[in-house]
Amino acid sequence: MIRGSGLASGLDTQSLISQLVSLQRQPILRYQADQRAAEARISTLGSLTSQLNTLSDKFDDLGNLSELLSYKASSSDEDFFSASADGTASPGSYEIEVSQLAAAEKNRSAAFADGTAAVSGTTLDITVFGESAVSVSIPDGASLADARDLINSSGAQVSASIINTGSGSYLTMTSLKEGHEIGGSASDAITITETVTGAGGQALSLTEVQAAQNAQLTIDGLAIESSSNDVDSAVTGVSLSLSKVTAAGSPLQLTVESDTEAVKATMQEVADLYNDVMDTLRREDMKSTSLARLLQGDLQNLFSSAVPGATDFVNLAAIGLESSFTTGKLELDATMLDDALSEDPLAVAALFTTDTTGLGTTLPDLLDRYTN
């Protein structure tokens, strides 16, 4: 093989060829660089979209008073009742006496030899709390255990089990709902129509062995009846869970107070989410884009502007959420927020919850225009 080196012509052909190849590659290299830049920007936009959705969801939640304000409820003796509160509660103290706990109705079958004993073919129509009856068909000769399983899989609001005493087995059916309808009869907590259709085995012959009863308590001397031991409508925003009867004439204390630490944690989360978005908008591959400039301006304007309809505190800066002059990031002044919550927690909440103009509405609306 003969390879010319350029000696005859005096040209460095190898160098010339390399330069030509390099020139030919320049458009490809530029394309590859553009492609890498585009992929990086797409990745950044994906991260930004995720951050905006998270920020939007957070403010959507804060548009609800129960999600924004936090209260804590405590019992003077949790052996008798425990308590919790949501953002619709109000600070206060109450005297609680529990005279009766709610109990579910129970029904029991006749005695069977054991769980394998045959049951006569039967149709059970089971009604709980007056709801639509659920029909359970037990085939003739099915075992007591089969009958239990058919009841449990029927969708009826009862639980069936077998109790073995050593001398006999009993099918027990218990309502999944405590108590009975207020104003109704205790015997109507479960209504069972038992129709025997078969001749083999033994009929269940279910009878009531424990009547349903409702919880009875007083709150500051006012009588309360509840079909459940979980009482969540007696005091606004407060849920009670009753577990023991109190001594007559010896009330316990329920205390509801503002949980400022929880509200501060929520506001710090708001600041962190906002700052994450701003950090992304200021990234090298984003900061020069019109999208970044527009979104950054819109967010800064919304977070600093007065909220129409807000009362004592007109914007976030008034409750301690203010943009830093040096970093541009949102910072929380915990002392200012404590003072605002102490002065008027509902006025703090109004920044987020005011109909149509609160940040719980306007921020998600703003971000939807960008993410969509």
> How would DSSP label each residue in 152-185?
HTS--SEEEEEEE-SS-EEEEEEESS-S--TTS-
What is d(CA 98, CA 234) in angstroms, rounded to the nearest whole number?
A: 13
Instruction: Please give the pLDDT value at position 71.
Output: 93
Residue 55 CA to its chain's centroid (Å):
17
Instruction: Please give the pLDDT value at position 6.
Output: 47
Percent of the chain surpassing pLDDT 90: 76
Instruction: Please give the pLDDT value at position 241.
Output: 98
Residue 164 · residue 112 · CB < 8 Å = no
Instruction: Please give the pLDDT value at position 313.
Output: 95
Instruction: Please give the pLDDT value at position 34.
Output: 60
What is d(CA 22, CA 37) in angstroms, rounded to the nearest whole number?
A: 22
Instruction: Please give the pLDDT value at position 39.
Output: 61
SS3 252: strand
- pLDDT tens per residue, range 240-268: 999 999 999 999 999 999 999 999 999 99
Residue 97 · residue 119 · CB < 8 Å = no
Instruction: Please give the pLDDT value at position 331.
Output: 95
Show the DSSP H helices in the chain as ranges: 13-62, 65-68, 144-152, 260-281, 290-304, 334-343, 345-353, 359-371
Structure tokens at 152: 């449990």
What is d(CA 80, CA 251) in angstroms, rounded to the nearest whole number?
A: 11
Residue 110 · residue 274 · CB < 8 Å = no
What is d(CA 106, CA 176) in angstroms, rounded to the nearest whole number?
A: 10
Which residue positions in the chain have pLDDT lower than 70?
1-12, 21, 24, 26, 28-43
Instruction: Please give the pLDDT value at position 96.
Output: 98
What is d(CA 195, CA 68) in angstroms, rounded to the nearest whole number?
A: 54
